[in-house]
């Protein structure tokens, strides 16, 4: 059976319908985003078709009337949103193209870009994570366009995530691109899986950090954190 037919018609027997302690406690189990080897064997259009059919089934199961003018287009809208927008960071073809430039100004201090707004989705409940990322690096001879830092954050955010993984992925990607160990990332985010369900705590936020190279020294880390509060 082809992958598309399998996804459309075969019930996934691996689904655990028992109480999921890991998911309810929002624990990450892997550094890399969990993807199957055949994740990109079908086209985006085929994915949208499959998702639309499954989401239609969800709506019908909930008792919604899909003949209503307001609802009948929802399965296709959700499918398009999933594939083209909020989860398009799953596909490597959407990874931002990064151009580096020589550090001709010989700027050897830290560069800080803060308050990068991002929207992601919790992989445990598929509800939004809304936050800000603060990123810094010290050039080893190359610099990156400021907007590209934003694009890297958005790329990794646009997939089902846990905040710890997102923080590490951004930090390691910048280290590799810039060929420097001196990278720092701090993320502060609000999780709607905490505020809108479960404990329903609407005031708490979560902060995660990534420090590498010079940023592991107390003085450099302190300078970086000072910029975040100034």
Q: pLDDT truncated to tens, each residue of the chain (230 aa)? A: 567 666 666 555 556 655 555 556 656 667 899 999 999 999 999 999 999 999 999 999 999 999 999 999 999 999 999 999 999 999 999 999 998 998 888 888 899 999 999 999 999 999 999 999 999 999 999 999 999 999 999 999 999 999 999 999 999 999 999 999 999 999 999 998 876 776 766 778 999 999 999 999 999 999 999 999 98
Strand partners, 161: 122
Tell if the pTM clears 0.75, that is, is over it. yes
Name residue, tokens 């019930």. 11
Q: Catalytic residue among 154, 163, 169, 173, which? A: 163
122 is catalytic: yes
191 is catalytic: yes
Q: Catalytic residue among 124, 134, 169, 173, which? A: 124
Q: Catalytic residue among 26, 49, 122, 154, which? A: 122
Q: Are 87 and 121 in contact (CB under 8 A)?
A: yes
Strand partners, 229: none
Q: Are 26 and 124 in contact (CB under 8 A)?
A: yes
Q: Catalytic residue among 123, 134, 161, 169, which? A: 123
Q: Are 119 and 187 in contact (CB under 8 A)?
A: no
125 is catalytic: yes
**Interatomic CA distance for residues 30 and 26, integer angstroms:** 12
Count CB atoms within 10 A of the CB of residue 189: 22
Q: Reduce the DSSP state of residue 169 to 3 states and report it.
A: helix
Q: Catalytic residue among 26, 49, 161, 193, which? A: 193
- Rounded to 10 degrees, what is the CA torsion of 189, 193, 199, 205? 0
Q: Are 227 and 157 in contact (CB under 8 A)?
A: no
123 is catalytic: yes
Domains of the chain: 3-94 (1.10.286.10), 100-229 (3.30.1130.10)
């Amino acid at each position: 059976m082809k992958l598309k037919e399998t996804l459309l018609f075969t019930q996934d027997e691996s689904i655990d319908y028992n109480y999921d302690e890991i998911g309810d406690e929002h624990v990450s189990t892997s550094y890399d985003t969990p993807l199957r080897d055949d994740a990109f064997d079908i086209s985006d259009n085929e994915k949208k078709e499959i998702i639309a059919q499954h989401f239609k089934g969800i709506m019908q199961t909930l008792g919604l009337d899909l003949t209503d003018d307001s609802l009948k287009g929802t399965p296709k809208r959700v499918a398009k949103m999933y594939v083209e927008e909020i989860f398009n960071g799953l596909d490597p073809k959407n990874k931002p193209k990064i151009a580096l430039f020589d550090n001709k100004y010989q700027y050897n201090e830290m560069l800080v870009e803060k308050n990068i707004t991002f929207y992601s989705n919790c992989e445990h409940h598929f509800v939004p994570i809304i936050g800000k990322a603060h990123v810094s690096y010290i050039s080893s001879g190359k610099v990156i366009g400021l907007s590209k830092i934003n694009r890297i954050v958005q790329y990794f955010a646009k997939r089902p995530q846990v905040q710890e993984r997102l923080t590490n992925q951004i930090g390691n990607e910048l280290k590799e691109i810039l060929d420097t160990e001196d990278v720092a990332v701090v993320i502060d985010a609000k999780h709607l899986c905490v505020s809108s369900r479960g404990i329903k705590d609407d005031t708490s936020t979560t902060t995660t950090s990534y420090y590498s190279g010079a940023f592991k020294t107390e003085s450099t880390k302190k300078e970086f954190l000072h910029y975040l509060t100034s």
